[in-house]
């Protein structure tokens, strides 16, 4: 997958451990508009639970969680 394949923004959170991927996701989403999409790329398996929980609490939608080799790719649709 091309890293920016149709996404508004791509967050490279490789090598970061909890809570940094969630904090960086939150900071980027603040700069985006409703309808934009964010791809988070992480190597921390905790993001599979942490980011969907954060999205649910903050009203955003996880479109897909995919694992490719040692990376977790999470696609997020920005809502309000």
Catalytic site residue from 10, 16, 18, 32 = 18
- 55 flagged as catalytic: no
Query: Rounded to an integer, what distance in angstroms lies between the CA atom of residue 69 and that of residue 24?
Result: 22
Cα–Cα dist 27/33, whole Å: 13
Residue 7, classed as helix, strand or coil, is coil
d(CA 69, CA 77): 24
Question: Containing H/E element for 20?
Answer: helix 20-29
Residues tagged active-site = 18
């Amino acid at each position: 997958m091309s890293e920016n394949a149709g996404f508004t923004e791509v967050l490279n959170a490789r090598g970061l451990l909890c809570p940094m991927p969630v904090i960086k996701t939150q900071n980027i989403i603040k700069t985006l508009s409703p309808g934009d999409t964010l791809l988070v790329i992480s190597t921390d398996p905790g993001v599979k639970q942490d980011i969907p929980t954060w999205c649910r609490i903050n009203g955003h939608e996880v479109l897909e969680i995919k694992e490719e080799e040692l990376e977790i790719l999470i696609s997020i649709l920005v809502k309000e």
